[in-house]
Structure 1
Amino acid sequence: MSKWFEWRIDFEGQKHCEFISQIVVVLFAVIGFVYGFHNQDLLATMEIYLGGIIITSILTLPPWPFYNKHPVQWLPEISDKEFEKD
């Protein structure tokens, strides 16, 4: 699997990942609750919610390339000699 993914996401990617997970989980929870309440079926509510968890996992757990569009640019390393001059 390491050949397929870079296994890194940047800070903006983490922000998008969290946003996607919150929206999808809440959306499926509300849909499941409304459907289950309307049909008086607790099992259907749990199945819809579980479907949302599975979809959220597929969208957020793998490090998809769109989560690494803004990689962190680190500063160059300062040698000891340069550090002592200042």
Structure 2
Amino acid sequence: MLKILGFEGQKLVERIAHYAVIELAVHILFLYGFLFQSIQVTFGVFGLGVAAILVIIIPPWSMFNHNPVTWLPPKETKEKQQ
């Protein structure tokens, strides 16, 4: 559905965020929590991981803008014509 509408960049960002958070939580956080036996370390690493993911997905990087959406031009209204 998203491919038809042209939101390929948004789809890529969603995939990156989804898989990165799952990878962070399941593998990295479990490992750190198990090794250090500290919930504080676990949540600290989680915060750093989420911050890193946000730095990757929030800015408008060029890799997300390969397929821009072309919008319709605005309609002229009667108020603008007068």
Task: Give the whole-Å Cα distance in 2 for the aligned partners of 1:76 and 1:47.
Answer: 47
Q: With the length of structure 1 as denominator, give the TM-score of the two structures.
A: 0.67
TM-align CA RMSD? 2.2
**Count of matched residue pairs:** 69
8 Å Cα contact 1:29/1:48 also seen in 2: no
Task: Give the whole-Å Cα distance in 2 for the aligned partners of 1:14 and 1:59.
Answer: 13
1:74 Cα shift?
4.9
Q: With the length of structure 2 as denominator, give the TM-score of the two structures.
A: 0.69
Cα-to-partner distance string for 1:62-83 (whole Å, 9 max, x where unaligned): 1111111012245789xxxxxx
Q: Hey, which bits of structure 1, 4+ residues long, moved more than 3 A?
A: 73-77
8 Å Cα contact 1:29/1:52 also seen in 2: no
Identity %: 40
1:52 maps onto 2:40 in alignment: no
Listed as ranges, the matches of 1:2-81 within 5 Å are: 11-30=7-26, 31-74=28-71
Task: Give the whole-Å Cα distance in 1 for the aligned partners of 2:29 and 2:73.
Answer: 51
Task: Give the whole-Å Cα distance in 1 for the aligned partners of 2:57 and 2:70.
Answer: 23
